[in-house]
Structure 1
Amino acid sequence: MRKITTRWGLAAAAVVAATVLLAGCSTATTTGGTTQAVPKVPMLKKLGAGEGQLNLIAWAGYAEDGTNDKTVDWVHPFEQQTGCQVHTTIGNTSDEMVQLMRSGQYDGVSASGDATLRLVYGGDVAPVNTSLVPNYATISDFLKKKSWNSVGGQMYGIPHGWGANLLMYNPSVVSPAPTSWSAVFDKSGPYAGKVTAYDSPIYIADAALYLMKTQPSLGIKDPYALTSKQLAAAVTLLKAQSKNVGEYWSDYTKEVQAFESGTTVIGTTWQVIANLVQSDAKVKVDTVLPSEGATGWSDTWMVSAKAKHPNCMYEWMNWITSPKVNAQVAEWFGEAPAQTLACDQTSDKNFCTTYHALDASYAAQIHYWTTPQKDCVDGSGKSDCTTYTQWVNAWQQIKG
């Protein structure tokens, strides 16, 4: 097991090309009388010659070139095969990635669901012609044409990897073994000061999911589509929880150290972090996907609306989702690969079982991060939902 670099470094702070293009396409979502237009951005019609360069924004660990570990390098082979020289800027938060993409200086980004729709509706990314990405055909179907990576059936990126936000606990302290998120919300009192939670406005969705299952009278249908009243209920729950939270984390090392030292005994996590704690053998931890389900992430490679090297970007999207490379990324980073054929290429033959990579029923229990918008993302067609900016403001209130 590698020592991963941070996935989301710091907590989310508050706040074209000389190739053949399709005629500018504009998509509008219309449901129940609500219409939200997507800015017209041209889509690549056919693949041309590579432009010799590629400027990426990526999470740490997604574009490894041997700098961190000389045996971990899928960038140089790509450069040799395509002639596209890769320049990568590491994005520490989704907010930072959105701002960098809006500069127009990059060809693409590995965006999480709390950034994707901001980029789509902001006109910062182009619709993706999936027929130009052969490896898209064998991407897991449960990651295609979803609310966080498509609009009106049009894909705005190529799925890369995914994972669930699990509940981790120290079984020598936490007993009986928890099966519900109530262990960190309504019943967190016994572990006061030793509860941990993810440090980001998107964590509000975890509380909303719990309320959706336990307080149906609130009418929550989607944890990312909250009315002002529903958001207020989630904020109330999180404020109550904050009294028992010893530390909010966004850097994985903080959670690893907190569990190993005993200052934390229960809280939200990723499978890779649990694996790291177990591998150090200083303390035993268990994880569970609670009965209410869980939030999670599905990262998507997206093409900039102002890409100067779109052909190289399409070559990259096909390369990074090829079976061997997607397996390498998944194992290095610590997530389920999006490519179904990657499971035959992992060095750990149990890797895909551990990460439930091909388990559609497991994936169905995950509510993947989706950018909250005024036009509700639950498919209801209503336009009375709270925005990401409102979530950022609410998160500041929760943490005080």
Structure 2
Amino acid sequence: MLTNTFSFSDTDRLVSRFERIHASPYRNYGAFRAKVSEMIATEPFLREEMADIARLFRETRVDERKVALVKNCPIDRDVPVYDPDDPVRSKHMVKKTFVGEVLLEVVSQACGLPILSYTTRNDGDFFQDVYAQKKYSDTQTQKTDSDLYFHNDRTAHRVRADVLCLLGMRSDPANVINTKYVHGTDLLRLVDPELHDILRQPNFATPFDLISQDSNEFQVNSDNHPILIGESAFRYYDVRTTVAASAPAIAWRALAAVKDAITKAPKLNVPIQTGELFIFPNLEGLHSRDKAHVPKPEAARERYLLKTYNFWDESRRDAFADLYVEGLPGLVDDARIDGARIDDARIGGKPELVLA
């Protein structure tokens, strides 16, 4: 499936240039973003290479999907090992350079993919870590050390990314840990058409993951939602998404059909290596983690992907403008959503926003 590949031509030059941005994306994202904008404006060679990546990901080609694998990416020369008890806090303390973050911000700006974040997710950081945390071992979360079922990221949340960017910061080549991807149109053609309408109705619900529940007491279960949205976008987490109590019995058949389609649909396997960036749709497909071969389990626990949630464009980001922290478009203020849910419960509930 994957033929959309690109390789940076001069990684050392990019690392040296990116290291000159000292503003911390974790202490002041606005200042960091502005510095990256200035760099893009003054570096023609960078704009040229990013234009190639934008075309690679966005242009539609026959029998291809909107996915891209970028190799030879600039990352930090020193990638620290974080405290497995609290990797986010550890990162804030020990990470002194931000080359990987600069790259992901360059991709966001140059490819027109605004970054999404949440106040109750990783301290509101715009750059997320896929990094094992002891507390979440063998769970279905971003910080687990186990396999992950096929899903969309933040399935239960009202605001979900259109695109995901995963940058390999540390990955032992002896271990084969695949990010598996299945495209929505390939799934849909395997589901009986008479079930499509059932899947497009709010007959289903998904619990929030444990990280969300631990960081926000109101994030326990989603509102009832459809699985199929629009032409072929999905809102689904395998094993976790279930039929709502109010749904008709045929919804169970529709759910089973989706599960069956996942087993049969063609899949892309990408074992993201150090210095590789995998860009793929979050809603127009499903992805999973498959620890296919792990002869070095300790190295697997220290595997590190830097990640961003992204919108397709600014108009998609701005559709949720009333939910953002003032002055930081893209940073969802979860307290506003939580407050609205409490108010809705008091007055009998309101229809959910259409999000994809």
**TM-score, scaled to structure 1:** 0.27
**TM-score, scaled to structure 2:** 0.29
